[in-house]
A and B are shown apart, each in its own frame.
Chain A
Amino acid sequence: MDKRIDILKEEIKKKLNTTTDLAELDRVRVAMLGKKGAITALLKGMKDLNGEERKTFGAEVNRLKAYAAEKIDAKVNELNEKAIEIEIGLMPVFDVTTPPALERGSYHPITLSQRQCEAVFRSMGFTVEDYPEVVTDYECFESVNIPKHHPARDMQDTYYLENGQLLKSQTSAAQNAILRKYGKNLIENGVPIKAIFPGRCFRNEATDACHENTFFQMEGMMVDKDISISNLIYFMKTMLSEVFRRDIKVRLRPGFFPFVEPGFELDINCEICGGAGCPSCKHSGWLELCPCGMIHPNVLREGGIDPDKYTGFAFGLGLTRLAMMKYGVKDIRDLNSGNLKSLSQFTDDEN
């Protein structure tokens, strides 16, 4: 056996024992296994040997080469592991329990309530309609069966503008336009009208913690052949159960609203007391929630729809009241105040 092999082997052993960093190790690898390395030189020198010798010597050198590669790799791994251990040891422990930086924007509580309602109605195939705030007498009253001198006009103190238009006192102002917008599709293609129309409404009245001259309603309607009172109750119960995320009990009482016949006041069972009676429900166990009813034939007719062929229901939800109930807002005036101390709390609400 060639002494050179043993010498090199010893040298590798020695160097690997003393090497402590990866750069030095790389130099060892180059010195042994590189193009001009010692082991590579041995292999190059083999061309002078004869057949048998060359075969034996070649095998020896190759073993040495494999040995060197294996030892160096092992040392690389060892050093890498050590380096990672050191890195881990250097990582400080963070205090995960410190208060989080929660700076966030906020939605208006009406937006949150409105979105929840809209989601429920969209899921049942209703379109969401937008409508102006300044409307004509025809839109707000005449077209929804409230002719001039109708006592119902007294029930709503309307803000009139100098040009005879008015700030809509009820979302019903959109009914006629929606009936006309979708009526053709109903009559020609049998596509039922299913729409909700949230909007801001105005009443000329003094404001206090419970009264606002500017507030939000959301009205909805469905028109098709054979829409019945039974359907109305079904929809109201289903939708309100979704909106309130509980199984709602509904109760209908006759109510007089010119745009519906029959008209109803819809009550829901009081959640606060479970029906036993409490101050919130004035000890009745029921909360008056929304007016609803079968769309008055005159309203359908005015919207270009034949009331002998089609029927429909309509309902109105007080979005402002809903938001106040939901979030426990006590003073209605907070909603239009722009006061961020109150409004910034409504970051989002998935429920």
Chain B
Amino acid sequence: MFLSMNWISDFVDFTGLDKVDYIHKFSLATAEVENEIFFKGSDISGIVVAEIKSVEPHPDSKKLHLLKVDAGEAELTDVVCGAPNVRVGMKTAFAKVGAKIGEIEIAPRPLAGFMSCGMCCSEAEIGISDDNSGIMDITDDVANGTDLKDIYEIDDIIFEVDNKSLTNRPDLWGHYGIAREFAALTGRPLKPLDTADLEAYNALQKVDMKIEDPLCQRYSCLQVENIKRSVSPVNMRIRLFYCGMRGINFLADLTNYLMLEMGQPMHAFDSRKVGKIRIKRFDQPFVFRTLDGVDRKIDENTLMICNDNTPVAIAGIMGGLDSEIVEDTTTLTLESATFDAASIRKSTVRLAHRTDASMRYEKSLDPEMTVPAIARFLYLLQQYDGGVQVVSALTDEYAYHYPQVDLTFDKAFVDRYTGIEISSDTIVKTLESLGFAVSLNGDDFDVKVPSWRATKDVTMKADIIEEITRIYGYDNFDINTTRSPLYPVREDAVKSNEDKIKDILVKRYNLHEVHSYVWAYADEQKALGIPVEENIKLANATNPNIETIRRTMIPTQLCQVKTNVGYAPEFGIFEIGRVVEGVDSDNLCIEHKKLAVTLYSKTADIRDLYFRLRDMLAVIADDLKHLPLDYRTAEPAHSYEHPVNLNTVLLDGKTIGTLGIVHPVVSRKIDKKSSIVFAEIDMDAFASVKNASISYEEPSKFPPMDYDISVIVPTGVFFRDLKKCWENEGGGILKSTRIVDTYDTEHFHSVTIRFEFSSAERTLSSGEVQEIMNRVIENLKAIDVNLR
């Protein structure tokens, strides 16, 4: 919304004050002002009123005329002018030699063979309207040679307030409300609005009007006739134009002017079409043509203004074409009303039509404003058109009163909330300057909230704090730390696991952390042959590619692997993100936080790559939990899973995730010659396993003894099967086992296992070790694992 400092200055005296400075203060105290402030008229000088004394056609041009104008100087001035509307006796805006319009300085110059010593200007050229159809037609009675700036408000400071920052302030949608803020900021009084005395017409007949729907809070109207004026006063047009509105005609301009001044939208009906005003909704939908000529579908929720049963306007949004003021309108009915804000908002959404009026109504306008708005309207009307006659009494139905908001609080409340000392005197002055009625009794405040702040904005004590502090100025606050006691803070297990896992994967394994979206990438997955798995969908997705929430992060990650083919012959990526695994019995999403890791390599053998990933997981489990992982062969559940080597990962007996190879159908689409493995770990399941403490063992003072055996392991026998052969045979001296070598031929798979024995109490004898090993070898034989 654009605001004019001239307009605001009608109500607040800025004498001796820097207006721009106060615009900045307003931005800090009330609502955000856009950075660019416009100094209207600052690039214009030397434009005077001049009268056209003679008009001669140009001998060689149909468009051009040769004028002699009286610019208030001793001699007439010769001007060559191309405007179509020149006529003798017309007064216009004239840029004299030496005048400046923007970057241009007017100088005498030959034009089509004749000297032109100045320029007649259009309103657009001076920047006071967008009318460029001809030169300005000045109808006011002013002396030739008068500087235009002396009679018209061409110089103005215009600033723009972000509409969003006014969402909660219905009172700030007009200059008068804004002026109240400036009054509070400057500490100067807010001048009252000049209004007409409506009581004078009480004896006249009332308008036939009735509110038939609770969505209309108040409806006030008045009939007037004999409006002769059709063109608005120049200053009014300038203000409207500077504030972003086009001039239309006097009556339309005046309703707009009033809306920009008081924030109250008004509408004028042709009284012939609207004799019996009824405000209601219709049971059946119908089509209604608004004054912009558009047919709009009206449903049963949209409040309408009607002439008896004929709709004439969409309440609070726009008038109808049929009831508009037309040329032969003699009597008109002025509407000033308030409607339920939520209803207007919903209607604008349904109609997809937002207007200056509806924008204001959506904010919950003050119903107290309807009658003063009519009084102000009439005052201005009478000012500018002396012949106007009021032909009805003020007709007003006030159906819904907002409750009066009274708040009580004490000084201690303010002190506690602000944390600084603001004197009672300052509090009273501030609130009063904003229109609050305050009575102070000792330390107790009783505050009556003014009607224009009581529709939704100020409802409780905390709201008063804002009023006091914003005018006091946040820049003036002393800033202090709290006096809260200190207590230890314990970190959440999931969060702490997450940080450590990231460190391990990045620092130890050189993986790259990525982020992705929470929905399946339909198109990208299709290209990789991974159908989107059935799952809960977004209800209002605008793009079908991102409709279904993902069940697993692996497809997303494979899409990202595809993106990075060519980045390096080998890389690994990971993400800790979310998936949804359907809904539970309460129809709520089952959300899980997952760690997904994918390794890609053009060079590594698939087996090596697989074990690299397995070891990463093992290191994570060992680092964070001091526990080993276990694996259980799994059946593929997703299309991207290779059926072989797919494992469920277990920690402390609990399923925490999956480790596998990417199915060749998919991996070939990513890159024909590459190996890709993946793992997905449930972070909550992982975090829920309590970590084992480090079990420290005193280093033995006696020499250890190693015993290596090489065995041939038949297909289908796993190391965990071998382990069972010595698990119960160690006799307290077998400390660890590890594979020190593997040897494969076409016929067999052989491993060399090192058994490490040691005792804290004595030097071991080869006899006792041999005895254990004999039993182990026997056990191995029993499962068909023989020495090589």
- Across the interface, A230 reaches (CB within 8 A) one of B480, B492, B564, namely B480
Please provide the chain A residues from 283 to 316 with a CB less than 8 Å away from any CB of chain B in the complex: 283-284, 294, 296-297, 307, 311
- Across the interface, A105 reaches (CB within 8 A) one of B512, B540, B588, B591, namely B512
A261 touching B580 in the complex, CB below 8 Å, given contacts A340-B564, A340-B567? no
Please provide the chain A residues from 168 to 202 with a CB less than 8 Å away from any CB of chain B in the complex: 190-192, 194, 200, 202
| Contacting pair A264 B474 (CB below 8 A) | yes
| Contacting pair A284 B35 (CB below 8 A) | yes
Given the complex, which residues of A lie within 8 Å of B560, measured CB to CB?
A: 337-339
| Contacting pair B506 A107 (CB below 8 A) | yes
| Contacting pair A134 B167 (CB below 8 A) | no
Given the complex, which residues of A lie within 8 Å of B485, measured CB to CB?
A: 190-192
A126 touching B462 in the complex, CB below 8 Å, given contacts A231-B481, A341-B567? no
The docked-state distance in angstroms from the alpha carbon of A110 to that of B513 is 10
Q: Which of A164, A254, A344 has the largest count of B CB atoms less than 10 A from its CB? A: A254
- Across the interface, B416 reaches (CB within 8 A) one of A202, A226, A238, A282, namely A226
Given the complex, which residues of A lie within 8 Å of B593, measured CB to CB?
A: 130
| Contacting pair A202 B518 (CB below 8 A) | yes
| Contacting pair A252 B168 (CB below 8 A) | no
Given the complex, which residues of B lie within 8 Å of A136, measured CB to CB?
A: 588
| Contacting pair B345 A339 (CB below 8 A) | no
| Contacting pair B591 A133 (CB below 8 A) | yes
The docked-state distance in angstroms from the alpha carbon of A255 to that of B31 is 7
| Contacting pair A160 B419 (CB below 8 A) | no
- Nearest residue (CB) in A for B540 is A160
| Contacting pair A165 B588 (CB below 8 A) | yes
B29 at the interface (CB under 8 A from A): yes
A156 at the interface (CB under 8 A from B): no
- Nearest residue (CB) in A for B493 is A130
Q: Which of A115, A237, A251, A262 has the largest count of B CB atoms less than 10 A from its CB? A: A262
A28 at the interface (CB under 8 A from B): no
- Nearest residue (CB) in B for A121 is B489
The docked-state distance in angstroms from the alpha carbon of A14 to that of B653 is 77
Contact string, B382-424, partner A, CB cutoff 8 A, digits 1/0? 0000000000000000000000000000000000111110000
Given the complex, which residues of B lie within 8 Å of A213, measured CB to CB?
A: 517
The docked-state distance in angstroms from the alpha carbon of A237 to that of B164 is 26
- Across the interface, A231 reaches (CB within 8 A) one of B29, B362, B482, namely B482
The docked-state distance in angstroms from the alpha carbon of A94 to that of B435 is 83
- Nearest residue (CB) in B for A214 is B517
The docked-state distance in angstroms from the alpha carbon of A111 to that of B593 is 16
Given the complex, which residues of B lie within 8 Å of A127, measured CB to CB?
A: 489-492
- Across the interface, A161 reaches (CB within 8 A) one of B29, B538, B542, namely B538
| Contacting pair B537 A162 (CB below 8 A) | yes
A62 at the interface (CB under 8 A from B): no
Q: Which of B463, B474, B492, B587 has the largest count of A CB atoms less than 10 A from its CB? A: B474
Contact string, B472-490, partner A, CB cutoff 8 A, digits 1/0? 0011011111111111011
B787 at the interface (CB under 8 A from A): no
Q: Which of A191, A238, A256, A341 has the largest count of B CB atoms less than 10 A from its CB? A: A256
| Contacting pair A231 B480 (CB below 8 A) | yes
A294 touching B462 in the complex, CB below 8 Å, given contacts A103-B510, A229-B418? yes
Given the complex, which residues of A lie within 8 Å of B589, measured CB to CB?
A: 134, 161, 163, 165
Please provide the chain A residues from 139 to 162 with a CB less than 8 Å away from any CB of chain B in the complex: 149, 151-152, 155, 159-162
Given the complex, which residues of A lie within 8 Å of B536, measured CB to CB?
A: 161-163
| Contacting pair A104 B35 (CB below 8 A) | no
The docked-state distance in angstroms from the alpha carbon of A228 to that of B478 is 11
B470 at the interface (CB under 8 A from A): yes
| Contacting pair A111 B165 (CB below 8 A) | no
Say which one of B68-76, B89-97, B148-156, B494-502 lies at the interface with A: B494-502
B131 at the interface (CB under 8 A from A): no
B111 at the interface (CB under 8 A from A): no
Given the complex, which residues of B lie within 8 Å of A129, measured CB to CB?
A: 492, 495
Interface of A is mostly: mixed
A234 at the interface (CB under 8 A from B): yes
| Contacting pair B513 A111 (CB below 8 A) | yes
- Across the interface, A229 reaches (CB within 8 A) one of B417, B483, B571, namely B417
| Contacting pair B28 A204 (CB below 8 A) | no
The docked-state distance in angstroms from the alpha carbon of A128 to that of B492 is 7
The docked-state distance in angstroms from the alpha carbon of A214 to that of B549 is 13
Given the complex, which residues of B lie within 8 Å of A32, measured CB to CB?
A: none
The docked-state distance in angstroms from the alpha carbon of A194 to that of B490 is 12
The docked-state distance in angstroms from the alpha carbon of A296 to that of B459 is 12
Please provide the chain B residues from 641 to 673 with a CB less than 8 Å away from any CB of chain A in the complex: none
Nearest CB of chain A from residue B604's CB, rounded to whole Å: 14
A256 touching B168 in the complex, CB below 8 Å, given contacts A104-B510, A149-B342, A227-B482? yes
Contact string, B360-371, partner A, CB cutoff 8 A, digits 1/0? 001000000000
Nearest CB of chain B from residue A37's CB, rounded to whole Å: 34
Nearest CB of chain A from residue B587's CB, rounded to whole Å: 5
The docked-state distance in angstroms from the alpha carbon of A341 to that of B573 is 13
Given the complex, which residues of B lie within 8 Å of A134, measured CB to CB?
A: 549, 578, 580, 589, 591
B541 at the interface (CB under 8 A from A): yes
Nearest CB of chain B from residue A273's CB, rounded to whole Å: 13
The docked-state distance in angstroms from the alpha carbon of A234 to that of B479 is 5
- Across the interface, B460 reaches (CB within 8 A) one of A151, A256, A297, namely A297
Given the complex, which residues of B lie within 8 Å of A103, measured CB to CB?
A: 510
- Nearest residue (CB) in A for B416 is A226
| Contacting pair B573 A340 (CB below 8 A) | yes
Nearest CB of chain A from residue B467's CB, rounded to whole Å: 9
Nearest CB of chain A from residue B20's CB, rounded to whole Å: 13
| Contacting pair B549 A161 (CB below 8 A) | yes
The docked-state distance in angstroms from the alpha carbon of A295 to that of B466 is 12
Please provide the chain A residues from 77 to 100 with a CB less than 8 Å away from any CB of chain B in the complex: none
Please provide the chain B residues from 557 to 603 with a CB less than 8 Å away from any CB of chain A in the complex: 557, 559-560, 563-564, 567-568, 571-573, 575, 578, 580, 583, 587-589, 591, 593
Contact string, A335-347, partner B, CB cutoff 8 A, digits 1/0? 1111111011001
A133 touching B518 in the complex, CB below 8 Å, given contacts A161-B536, A231-B419? yes
The docked-state distance in angstroms from the alpha carbon of A103 to that of B418 is 53
| Contacting pair B515 A110 (CB below 8 A) | yes
Given the complex, which residues of B lie within 8 Å of A105, measured CB to CB?
A: 505-507, 509-513, 572
Given the complex, which residues of A lie within 8 Å of B540, measured CB to CB?
A: 159-160, 204
A106 at the interface (CB under 8 A from B): yes
| Contacting pair B515 A338 (CB below 8 A) | yes
B203 at the interface (CB under 8 A from A): no
The docked-state distance in angstroms from the alpha carbon of A133 to that of B572 is 26
- Across the interface, B486 reaches (CB within 8 A) one of A125, A163, A255, A283, namely A125
Given the complex, which residues of A lie within 8 Å of B27, measured CB to CB?
A: 253
- Nearest residue (CB) in B for A265 is B32
A54 at the interface (CB under 8 A from B): no
B782 at the interface (CB under 8 A from A): no
- Nearest residue (CB) in B for A262 is B466
| Contacting pair B578 A343 (CB below 8 A) | no
| Contacting pair A162 B515 (CB below 8 A) | no
Given the complex, which residues of A lie within 8 Å of B167, measured CB to CB?
A: 151-152, 256
Given the complex, which residues of A lie within 8 Å of B486, measured CB to CB?
A: 125
| Contacting pair B165 A255 (CB below 8 A) | yes
A224 touching B482 in the complex, CB below 8 Å, given contacts A134-B591, A229-B419, A294-B417? yes
| Contacting pair B484 A229 (CB below 8 A) | no
B516 at the interface (CB under 8 A from A): yes
B469 at the interface (CB under 8 A from A): yes
A167 at the interface (CB under 8 A from B): yes
A253 touching B487 in the complex, CB below 8 Å, given contacts A162-B537, A214-B517, A338-B515? no
Nearest CB of chain B from residue A145's CB, rounded to whole Å: 11
> 27 interchain pairs (CB within 8 A)?
A108-B514, A108-B515, A111-B502, A128-B491, A128-B492, A133-B578, A159-B541, A160-B539, A161-B537, A163-B587, A167-B538, A202-B518, A226-B416, A226-B419, A228-B418, A228-B420, A229-B420, A229-B469, A230-B419, A230-B477, A252-B474, A254-B466, A255-B32, A335-B515, A343-B513, A343-B514, A344-B512
Beyond A235-B482, A294-B417, A338-B557, list 4 extra A-B contacts (CB 8 Å): A107-B502, A115-B499, A129-B492, A253-B27
Q: Please list the 3 inter-chain residue pairs (A to B) with the smallest Cβ-Cβ separation, ordered nearest first.
A: A228-B419, A230-B419, A338-B560
